[in-house]
Chain A
Amino acid sequence: MTVVATLQVSELAVRFGGVTALGGVSFAVAPGTVTSLIGPNGAGKTTAFNVITGFQRPTAGHVSHEGVVITGWRPHRIAERGLVRTFQKTSVFPGLTVMENVLTGLHLRGRVGVGSALFRRRRVAEEERGLADEAGSVIDFVGLRGRREELASALSYGDQRMLELAVALAARPRLLLVDEPASGMAASEKVAVAGLIRKIRDGGVTVFLVEHDMRLVMGISDRVLVLNYGRLIADGSAAEVQRNPDVIRAYLGAGARVDA
């Protein structure tokens, strides 16, 4: 029996002139899991995310989502399919309030076009009410209740990262790609992020994670993929990957030990 992978990446390669960012990588992300992609800086993790979400074209190989090849699609079409990402560098709509940020994330949930915007204001009002309710529940979900009317740019760094997750969640992903959600966060905030990612997975969203914090990765991942110099060097459960001699040598350094 085979389960159709949520995400299937085949022989994916990205080269910039002579530099190989990804050198023919293949892996799958199983539905309902938290799968993590780890590796040293420059291993090609973010490049992989960029290609999967349409922000970068691969030199070779392809990406498919639930059996449909999406290689080369534009980002907004990939988002329409239910693949939504966050960014390594904090990325919100800085001049808008928390509420407006999340409402913008709900774009695909709305249906109003120019015609109804101009001539069917009652329909617009109805839609806006529905979207506001949804936005409110997403904001509560990430723990930003009570901050709705604050400008995104006025939030603390940790809260901005939470808002980022809220904007992505608002787009109702079936697969959420999260790029280093805990970077630069305090230990307590990292615990909150881990809890949130688990909650997201338990809500039925498959999570694909890039993260440097090993404690976080090993704690929440159902499966771990390890990239090094654009190649996949390990693929297995957190425990298996930690015991893998290649991983220890290439990534963690000879003789290193990781707390599980």
Chain B
Amino acid sequence: MRWLALGALLAVTATAPAWVWNPYHLHTLIMAGIFAVLALSLNLLLGYTGQLSLGHAGFFGIGAYATGLLTVKLEWSPWLGLAAATALPAAAGWVIGRLALKLRGAYFVLLTISFGGVTSLVSVNWMDLTNGPLGLPGVPPVEIALPGLPVVSLRSKGAYYYLVLVAVVAAYLLCLALIRSRIGRALIALRENETLAESVGINGTHYLVLAALISAGMAGFAGGLYAHYTRFVSPEVFLFGYTVTMLIMVVAGGKGTLAGPIVGAVIFTVLPEALRALTSWQWQMLVYGIVLIAVLFFMPRGIVPTLHERWRRT
């Protein structure tokens, strides 16, 4: 039963571009995938270590600008750009973690908020580097050039969908591998009882900084994917709204689970688009808010943990 459901899910996701003929719907799915990587990244910190980052749009934006600038201005290969889009935000995550995670909790939240704000301001005001509010057009598409084979450009939505799908699966497997080891147990221990964790030899700062670094790297990679998808980077990528959206996806989907953020990302990317089609604009945000409140009211631990429990009981 379980394998059947999993197989069906795989078949549906793997063949989506073949039967989702409306490019706008495909675009929504691609965005859901990018948000799934972001939600998984935020969940690694919030769901497993219990530390809330409100600066994740900062990592996302740095990733987008890193690959945007390197591929447009220095004409790097998009693959190298994506690598930089992971490495730079990861470095930023490491610095922020070193600075704030000795204090944790509210201090970490405050520092990440200011980080998000500062990166956003820099992107608008450092005209020479970022082109300011005008943004950075002409980001090249990702191309796959294997020796002996013709170059495949991932310019079309159908092709890019698969790149994003691979990224989601990779992000999921990355989190799964970490969680199912002593590293994951250390992270959870710090969330559950930090004093006790330290007393049995878990180096709190080390593991929290590690989680911040990996989480920031993942968010940056999602930013890189976004840049090569929209082919345009502007200060919009630093919007605080992105962080809030990620947070909604993680909390509503089920923080501290691996499927939760992905489910949350799909639902809360598709929902606004569905509402756009179903209702007039005045009602969109209102209904969105009501749905969100209903989910949190009836499933306070999130969709995935609640359904999982209900399914196990029957």
A binding-site residues for B, Cβ under 8 Å: 53, 55, 74-77, 79-80, 84-85, 87, 91-96, 100, 103-108, 110, 112-114, 116-118, 121, 124, 127-128, 131, 167-168, 170-171
Residue from A79, A117, A128 in contact with B199 in the complex, judged by beta carbons closer than 8 Å: A79
With A96-B188, A112-B182, A112-B183 in contact, do A104 and B197 touch (Cβ < 8 Å)? yes
* In the bound complex, CA of A108 to CA of B186 (Å): 10
Q: Which partner residue on chain A sits nearest B174 by CB separation?
A: A118
- CB neighbours (8 Å) of B193 from chain A are 91-94
Find the residue from A92, A167, A168 having the highest chain B CB count within 10 A: A167
Residue of B nearest to A96 (CB): B192
Can you list 20 A-B pairs with a CB-CB distance of less than 8 A? A75-B198, A76-B202, A80-B201, A93-B193, A96-B192, A103-B185, A104-B189, A107-B186, A107-B189, A107-B200, A116-B181, A117-B178, A117-B181, A117-B183, A124-B177, A124-B181, A127-B181, A128-B181, A167-B200, A168-B199
| A92-B200 Cα distance, complex, nearest whole Å | 11
Separation in Å of the A102 CB from the closest CB of chain B?
10
| Any A CB within 8 A of the CB of B12 | no
A93 adjacent to B195 (CB under 8 Å): no
User: Please, what's the 1-or-0 string for B178-215, where 1 marks a CB less than 8 Å from any CB in chain A?
Assistant: 10111101101100110111111111100000100010
Cα(A107)–Cα(B185), bound, Å: 8
Extra contacts, 14 of them, besides A110-B182, A127-B182 (Cβ < 8 A), are: A76-B203, A77-B203, A79-B201, A80-B201, A84-B200, A84-B201, A85-B199, A93-B196, A94-B192, A100-B188, A110-B181, A114-B178, A118-B178, A124-B177
- Top 5 nearest A-B pairs (CB, nearest first) are A79-B201, A110-B182, A75-B198, A93-B192, A108-B201
- Distance to closest chain A CB from B46 (angstroms): 15
A28 CB to nearest chain B CB (Å): 22
Task: Give B284 Cβ to nearest chain A Cβ, in Å.
Answer: 37
- Identity of the chain B residue whose Cβ is nearest the Cβ of A91 in the assembled complex: B196
Shortest Cβ distance from A109 into B: residue: B182
A92 to B193: give the CA distance in the assembly, Å: 7
Select from chain A the residue with minimum beta-carbon distance to B203.
Answer: A76
Residues of B within 8 A of A105 (CB): 200
- Complex contacts, A75 vs chain B, CB 8 Å: 195, 198-199
Minimum Cβ distance to chain B for residue A91 (Å): 5
* Inter-chain contact B199/A53, CB cutoff 8 Å: yes
Q: How near does chain A come to B192, taking the closest CB pair, in angstroms?
A: 4
Main secondary structure of the interface of A (DSSP, over half): helix
Check if A76 sits within 8 Å of B195, measured CB to CB. no
Which A residue sits closest to B183, measured CB to CB?
A117
Chain B residues whose C-beta falls within 8 Å of the C-beta of A84 in the assembled complex = 199-201
The interface residues of chain B lying within 8 Å CB-to-CB of A53 are: 199
Q: Residue on A with the closest CB to B184? A: A117
What residue in chain B is nearest A124 (Cβ atoms)?
B181
Bound-complex Cα distance A141 to B224 (A): 52
Q: Which residues of A contact B182 (CB under 8 A)?
A: 106-107, 110, 112, 127, 131
Q: When chains A and B are docked, how far (Å) is the Cα of A131 from the Cα of B230?
A: 47
A124 touches B180 (CB 8 A): yes
Complex Cα distance A132/B195, Å? 23
A107-B177 in contact (CB<8A): no
For residue A55, give the distance in angstroms from its CB to the closest CB of chain B: 7
B198 and A79 contacting across the interface, CB-CB below 8 Å? yes
| A96 contacts across to B, CB distance below 8 A | 188, 192
| A112 to B192 alpha-carbon distance, docked (Å) | 21
Whole-angstrom CA separation of A142 from B124 in the bound complex: 61
- Per the 8 Å Cβ criterion, residues 137-192 of B in contact with A are 174, 177-178, 180-183, 185-186, 188-189, 192
Minimum CB–CB distance from B172 to chain A (whole Å) comes to: 13
* Max count, chain A CB within 10 A of own CB: residue among B182, B188, B195, B202: B182
Docked pose: A92 CA to B195 CA in angstroms? 10
**B214 surroundings in chain A (CB, below 8 A):** 114
CB within 8 Å for A117 and B177 given contacts A92-B196, A93-B192: yes
Known A94-B192, A95-B192, A100-B185: A108·B177 in contact at CB below 8 Å: no
From B201, which residue of chain A is reached at the shortest CB distance?
A79
Q: A76-B204, A112-B182, A113-B183 are in contact. Are A118 and B199 (CB under 8 A)?
A: no
B178 contacts which chain A residues (CB < 8 A)?
A: 114, 117-118
**How far is it, in angstroms, between the C-alpha of A212 and the C-alpha of B296 when the chains are bound?**
46
Chain A's closest residue to B179 (CB) is A117
User: Chain A residues with Cβ under 8 A from B196's Cβ?
Assistant: 87, 91-93, 167
- Residues of chain B with a CB closer than 8 A to A92's CB: 193, 196
- How far is A106 from B210 in the complex, measured between Cα atoms in Å? 20
A119–B203 alpha-carbon span in the complex (Å): 23
Task: For the complex formed, measure the closest distance between the CB of A146 and the CB atoms of chain B, giving whole angstroms.
Answer: 21
- In the assembled complex, the CB of B190 is this many whole angstroms from the nearest CB of chain A, namely 10
Complex Cα distance, B182 from A131, in Å, reads 10
Q: Give Cα A128 to B189, complex, Å.
A: 17
How many Å from the CB of A61 to the closest CB on chain B? 21
Q: Please determine whether A76 and B201 come into contact, CB atoms closer than 8 angstroms.
A: yes
With A96-B192, A104-B189 known as contacts, the answer to whether A114 contacts B200 (CB < 8 A) is: no
Q: In whole angstroms, what is the CA distance A245 to B18 when docked?
A: 91
